[in-house]
Amino acid sequence: MNAHEFELTEEQRLVRDTAKQFATAEVAPLARKIDAEHYFPKELIPKLGSLGFLGVNVQAEYGGAELDYLSYALIVEELATVCASTSVIVSAHNSLCVWPISAYANADQLKAYLPKLASGEWLGCFALSEPGTGSDAARQTCLSRKVEGGWIVNGVKNWITNGPEADICVLFAMEHPEKMHRGINCFIVELKNTPGVSCGKREDKLGICGSPTSSIMFEEAFLLDSALLGQTGEGFKIAMSTLDGGRIGIAAQAVGIARAAFQDAIRYSQERSTFGKAIHEHQSIQNFLADMACQIDAARLLTFSAARRKDAGAPYSRQAAQAKLYASEAAIFCAHKGVQIHGGYGFVKDFNAERYYRDAKITEIYEGTSEIQRLVIAGALLKEYDIQG
């Protein structure tokens, strides 16, 4: 689908086409294995790095591609159209690890971390969620205690995308519980070089099965003063600003999954016949396809809008939440209709329709559930229109 082609610059089209070619040539042959075997595609990481896809928004002086955020959304969408697992590996690395380091790190941290993250030598993750504090991020129970020369961290983080394979973690830990969100610190942690840090088992998930997810445990883990990202007490602000951008990436992933389900369904509707004609000739199937196309285009426009606002330096928190909310629900809708169009074949693993159905669900959950997105949107609207609520 080439909807909204007119909105893209020549450079953005080139980025999109490069991502599409890579997804088709390198990712597609692995997609079924990635899903069926819960296989982490380690061999793709250096290739993604060499294309600039692991340092999309990183400055060229640190080895990054120095592209805009809309280009990043295009890359994620193209990868997700072929393999949702690969797209979220890239999205979590860029949005949740590389971006906050780029935005809040000091000069020494930028030089130490960005080149290796942008090249794919290091993979990144983001540790905010905890066993008892998912959406309520202000109530962190992972604790950071100031000691001479650094910090001691104790606690558990849950649902860490890339966790078992990551080298670098952007970690959030409470220092002053009485201050709630103002008492949280942010750290850059070298996971494999820090005593007291360990990963839990890889989660056996419904979808995005090749995206490795685990808990990360911190037991008297000592972090140097140089590990602090930003200032003390800035952790919550860093987390929320990071998630705003991350939601654009997940919206793009959801658009890609929806698009995959649509393309798969429209091909099948041309091949399958019932009652003496191809099923795409039946009005009910045409209605499904029309609704899917509308949802995909609307979701992409919302995603583009949020990305453009971020690129322009305009406020985009509400727009990012709207994009993620709508695109994730569009992915669910399109994946569901895709299975329905396939009928019984949509329920078996010989066809991709059921994979899209499983992969779509997570987009309504991670980086803020749909319920949280609605709260973010409503809160912003109440402020924008000065409505007393």
Q: What is the set of active-site residues?
A: 367
- In terms of DSSP bridges, do strands 277-278 and 168-174 run parallel, antiparallel, or are they unpaired? unpaired
Q: In this structure, what token pair is assigned to residue 327?
A: 């695109």
Residue 343, Ramachandran bin (φ over 0: left; ψ between -120 and 50: alpha; else beta): left
Reduce the DSSP state of residue 134 to 3 states and report it. coil
Asked whether the beta carbons of 124 and 168 are under 8 A apart, the reply is yes
Distances (CA, A) of 287 to 232, 283, 293, 340: 55, 6, 10, 12
> Is 96:170 a contact under the CB 8 Å cutoff?
yes
- What separation in angstroms does the CA of 234 have from each of 113, 126, 207, 238, 241? 20, 16, 34, 6, 11
Rounded Cα distance, 244 and 251, in Å? 11
| Number of separate helices (H) and strands (E) present in the chain | 12, 9
User: How many alpha carbons fall within 13 Å on the CB side of residue 28?
Assistant: 11
Contact at 8 Å (CB) between 259 and 360?
Answer: no
Residue 245: strand, helix, or coil: helix
